[in-house]
């Protein structure tokens, strides 16, 4: 029985990590593969050093002769500085990609066409990524602004409403939808909280969501093994509705929500979101089953951003785990380099009010206030949350930190990557490694 329980836990907990942390599945396998690889094993170069990219086009693991390709090379997310084409007589090619004089990333993109179908591959070389500095300014009143926002939040009653979800409960865990008042009267925060049934005091894990509009199932597997988990949504709507409701909202009322009221720092959409994360911690601390101290926060993409933001905002968080955080160094495009999701200024349109607002919401500026241990992970090929932007935040963190780089990943993760994150969090929360 115990062995079956362990198997069930391993399966469910891995599934939960994929869904609740906001991770993306690996790319779909294709018949023809275009492999692009920098000629340094770690994909890392020094400024001024020449990067070369090895290209191999295969089918059934065999090199394809005489395949025609097009390729381009340039700083990530920027217009290419080199564009050309070639015929790979034996399926191989070595492209001299050039260099960067400043710390950053150089990307080579290759497209092969076979029988009318296009196949794409890319690789991204890093140049002294540890030296990347953010472009976003740190407002002189940043801390005062958010301290006041938290004081205002503290005056709002939580008005907690818990609804038991019997179909999600297990022998060991009770599962509820939590409905909590957020930072304004009438503004609500919803989530799924899983609480061990056995009397005792437990550590807690807050899961913050990736971008989009969806429902959530909670993390029963962690709770079954003695960790309270709260998985929240950010849009102020119940998280147990039919999938079609979220799909409709994502295409209508909540379409483009990262841009809502961007010209006003007090009305910007993410103010309620960021304070909602603090309110989620208020709720966790109200639970009689919580041990009153041991709390971690984790997420990927938008959830990676919210993990860093929450840790930078609230000293009650003790550990954080973040995959490829979004909302990092949003003004990067205004300095002719990659900025973070949602790529607000990619068109280089300068709107003073919007730039001013982003200073108070950019993950970089919260990263500067992180004081707790963190585990971070991403890849060099991410075109959603470009590594230039994520390094801008990571390099701003002075607290103890670990970075797991999976060079060839884009906006997705390997199972091994997920396992390392899970074990790191479990080790911190339970004291067992």
| Residues acting as catalytic residues | 301, 382, 411
- What contacts 14, CB < 8 A, 6 or more positions away? 415, 418, 419, 422
Whole-angstrom distance, CA of residue 284 vs CA of residue 244? 30
Q: Strand pairing partners for 125?
A: 106
Whole-angstrom distance, CA of residue 189 vs CA of residue 274? 11
Whole-angstrom distance, CA of residue 337 vs CA of residue 101? 13
Whole-angstrom distance, CA of residue 229 vs CA of residue 192? 8
* Angle at alpha carbon of residue 416, lines to 413 and 419, rounded to 5°: 100
Shortest CA distance to 329 belongs to which of 367, 274, 283? Answer: 367
Whole-angstrom distance, CA of residue 400 vs CA of residue 320? 11
Query: Residue 179: how many CB atoms within 10 A of its CB?
Result: 16
Query: Contact, 47 vs 127, CB < 8 A?
Result: yes
Residue 217 tokens, joined: 């199932």
Query: Contact, 271 vs 293, CB < 8 A?
Result: no
Residue 201 tokens, joined: 């005091």
């Amino acid at each position: 029985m115990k062995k079956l329980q362990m198997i069930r836990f391993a399966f469910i907990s891995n599934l939960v990590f994929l869904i609740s942390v906001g991770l993306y599945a690996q790319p779909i396998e294709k018949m023809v593969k275009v492999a692009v690889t920098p000629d340094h094993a770690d994909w890392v170069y020094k400024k001024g050093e020449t990067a070369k990219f090895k290209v191999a086009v295969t089918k059934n693991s065999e090199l394809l002769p005489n395949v025609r390709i097009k390729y381009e090379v340039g700083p990530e997310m920027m217009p290419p500085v080199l564009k050309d084409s070639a015929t790979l007589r034996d399926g191989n090619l070595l492209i001299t990609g050039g260099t960067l004089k400043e710390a950053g990333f150089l990307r080579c993109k290759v497209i092969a066409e076979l029988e009318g179908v296009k196949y794409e591959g890319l690789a991204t070389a890093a140049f002294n990524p540890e030296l990347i500095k953010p472009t976003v300014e740190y407002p002189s009143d940043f801390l005062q602004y958010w301290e006041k926002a938290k004081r205002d939040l503290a005056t709002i009653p939580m008005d907690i409403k818990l609804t038991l979800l019997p179909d999600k409960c297990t022998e060991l865990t009770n599962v509820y939808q939590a409905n909590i008042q957020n930072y304004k009267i009438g503004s609500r925060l919803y989530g799924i909280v899983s609480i061990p049934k056995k009397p005792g005091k437990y550590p807690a894990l807050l899961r913050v969501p990736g971008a989009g509009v969806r429902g959530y199932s909670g993390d029963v597997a962690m709770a079954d093994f003695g960790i309270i988990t709260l998985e929240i949504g950010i849009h102020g709507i119940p998280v147990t509705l039919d999938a079609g409701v979220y799909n409709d909202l994502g295409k209508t009322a909540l379409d483009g929500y990262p841009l809502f009221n961007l010209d006003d720092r007090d009305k910007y959409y993410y103010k309620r979101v960021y304070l909602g994360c603090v309110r989620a911690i208020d709720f966790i601390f109200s639970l009689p089953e919580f041990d009153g101290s041991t709390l971690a926060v984790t997420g990927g993409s938008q959830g990676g951003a919210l993990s860093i933001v929450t840790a930078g905002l609230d000293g009650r968080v003790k550990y954080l785990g973040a995959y490829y955080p979004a909302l990092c160094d949003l003004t990067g495009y205004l300095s002719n380099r990659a900025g973070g999701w949602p790529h607000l200024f990619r068109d280089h349109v300068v709107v003073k009010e919007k730039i001013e607002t982003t200073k108070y919401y950019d993950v970089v500026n919260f990263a500067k206030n992180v004081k707790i241990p963190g585990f971070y992970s991403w890849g060099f090929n991410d075109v959603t949350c470009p590594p230039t932007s994520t390094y801008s935040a990571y390099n701003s963190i002075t607290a103890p930190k670990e970075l797991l780089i999976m060079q060839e990943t884009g906006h997705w993760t390997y199972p091994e990557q997920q396992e390392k994150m899970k074990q790191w969090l479990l080790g911190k929360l339970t004291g067992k490694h």
